[in-house]
Structure 1
């Protein structure tokens, strides 16, 4: 008599799609709160765009919050031409682009030395860089002004033969004040990189520069992109240091172009709004280009553990 054995029947669980999150009152309240906050931050920009599309006579008669009777882009062309924004755009890029690149390079190298090379006094050095951000910038305006008027430069670097009234003065101050913040952010980011990666490269014969440039920096791309977006916005929008250290009106940054749209006895605020929107476009463009990396840098570590 033969006994046949039957294999146990395996039950396969039905494949189901992703679970839908339950909509609760707390979640609805959170989304409503975030929408209100977003609209509050966007309201000035939206109002500026709306005003820039309307004639000043219309808003003066009906108010800025009235329904439009006529919309056009005439103010944008007028604002760009009347203020001479072309040359001011170039001036801002001359300061902002090298400033961002130099700041990120110096800050990333210092952060690498503090976190990876284990140099003596690295923690104290990091604290010094971080404490530099606590110093109010306005306190050292006068000492820097006197200092830059006494530092000589060759003619091909500065028309005034000194650091004063040159791009170098504004660039030096921007880099000096922004390096500390970037060192603090990048040092904390580099600590999240496993030590085994750098140790393996060191065993394979990689030098310090290779460990920094070819291994560490590519892994810091999200943090660098987030910092690049912030630094470009801050340096591009800054007006204080250019106003203090540059006397030649042809060298002033784009923020000074808006002052050219103000009349002596009358100011067309719709025209000024159009100029403000034009000035803000480069920072918006930079954010859109680096949006994915910027968000990745901000949310890094949010899901750890």
Structure 2
């Protein structure tokens, strides 16, 4: 049922593993390496057809500086921060409250309501493109940072609630019953007892949602039209002119856009792994 540890395999299998693992890792990282090599080329190098070969001229400082001088990259980055951080806060906060109610309280509509949250995660977001865009236009939220925050929070809360409900459900009910017997209020139980116990899960969920929202391109394209409210994922396209494709600048901007989620993961790596493995063992 479970994979066999490589240490318990034969010497031949271990040798083959050590040989093919670096090869597989290199193949997996090859697209990222190609983007990096493109980001340090000159425009003349790309136009001459030298796309996959060794660059004839390295323009690291020039290309990465041009991302900020030839576009509104600073505005795009700020918009991404304004969109991502409030969305994470709203989604996780609502998920903790809803997950606590669905996991702890026993009422007739608890299970059907939980199924509604689950079913929402399986709705293809492409079919919601037209009604969501129309709703944003009618409510005045189209092409605004506020609109992106609200719609992202609405779409992510279902998954977050499913995530938090399962973790809170795994907590010993005796702890909550003991606190109730001692006369502790429900909000104090939630704030001082439940939240500290599921803190690793909250950290893991925050990293996931941060990555989802920061890397979103679909809704950033559907719900924005001007440059003032675009996040970095949609703003990268502004580096391509109407008649000239500046792929070296697009590649540089793409790599810069990928830095915050990577930093977020490494800074929260300890809590992220602890959150994913919470409740995986007994004792």
1:179 match: secondary structure: helix
C-alpha separation in 1, matches of 2:48 and 2:147: 46
Alignment of 1:89-238 (within 5 A): 89-151=77-139, 162-238=140-216
- Between the two proteins, the alignment pairs up a number of residues equal to 275
Greater mean deviation of Cα atoms: 191-200 or 141-150: 141-150
**Cα shift readout 1:142-173 (whole Å, capped 9, x = no counterpart):** 2223333333xxxxxxxxxx223322322222
Q: 1:226 to 1:28 in 2, by over 3 A?
A: farther
Greater mean deviation of Cα atoms: 233-242 or 131-140: 233-242
Q: 1:247 to 1:263 in 2, by over 3 A?
A: closer
Q: 1:207 to 1:144 in 2, by over 3 A?
A: same
Q: CA deviation at 1:42?
A: 2.5
- Specify which of 17, 22, 28 is matched with residue 41 of structure 1: 28
Greater mean deviation of Cα atoms: 236-245 or 223-232: 236-245
Gaps of 5+ in 1: 1-20, 152-161
C-alpha separation in 2, matches of 1:27 and 1:64: 37
C-alpha separation in 1, matches of 2:101 and 2:26: 43
- Specify which of 5, 30, 55 is matched with residue 42 of structure 2: 55
**Cα shift readout 1:237-289 (whole Å, capped 9, x = no counterpart):** 22322332333321111112211111222223222211111111111111111
C-alpha RMSD of the superposition: 2.4
Tell me whether 1:290 sits opposite 2:268 in the alignment.
yes
Calculate the TM-score normalised by the size of structure 1. Answer: 0.81
Structure showing greater radius of gyration is: 1
Contact 1:59-1:66 within 8 A present in 2 as well: no
Q: CA deviation at 1:96?
A: 0.9
Aligned to 1:269: 247
Calculate the TM-score normalised by the size of structure 2. Answer: 0.86
C-alpha separation in 1, matches of 2:278 and 2:23: 26
C-alpha separation in 1, matches of 2:20 and 2:117: 37
Aligned to 1:80: 68
C-alpha separation in 2, matches of 1:32 and 1:111: 46
Q: Which has the larger helix fraction?
A: 2
Q: 1:60 to 1:192 in 2, by over 3 A?
A: same
Aligned to 2:4: none
Greater mean deviation of Cα atoms: 138-147 or 85-94: 138-147
Gaps of 5+ in 2: 1-6
Contact 1:113-1:119 within 8 A present in 2 as well: no
C-alpha separation in 2, matches of 1:34 and 1:125: 45
